[in-house]
Amino acid sequence: MDDNLRRLMAQIEAEQGLRQLNEILPQCMDLQRTLATLMHNFYTSLCKEGFTKQESLEIIKALGTGLNSNLNDEL
């Protein structure tokens, strides 16, 4: 393959990738909002259970939403 063809193929692949990203962007934003809500609810629940704000933040930093540990039977 010559350089012009390689550059053209790379440009086409990049444009296709950008189109695909633009198509899924709304779903990604919805997922981020949902994850933020889950993390906030987890934080609030930890505080209500007696953890300090700092402890709750450390737990959230370590576990995120807490879903992974529940799905993997960890914690």
Q: What is the pLDDT of residues 19-51, one digit of tens each?
A: 999 999 999 999 999 999 999 999 999 999 999
Q: What's the one-letter identity of residue 63?
A: L
Helix axes 53-63, 3-48, angle to 10 degrees: 150
| Residue 38 confidence (pLDDT) | 92
At 73 the pLDDT is: 53
What are phi and psi for residue 64, nearest 5 degrees? 70, -120
**Structure token digits, residue 43:** 């934080």
Contact predicate 64/34, CB 8 Å: no
**Half-sphere exposure of residue 63: CA atoms within 13 angstroms, side-chain side:** 23
Record the pTM.
Answer: 0.61
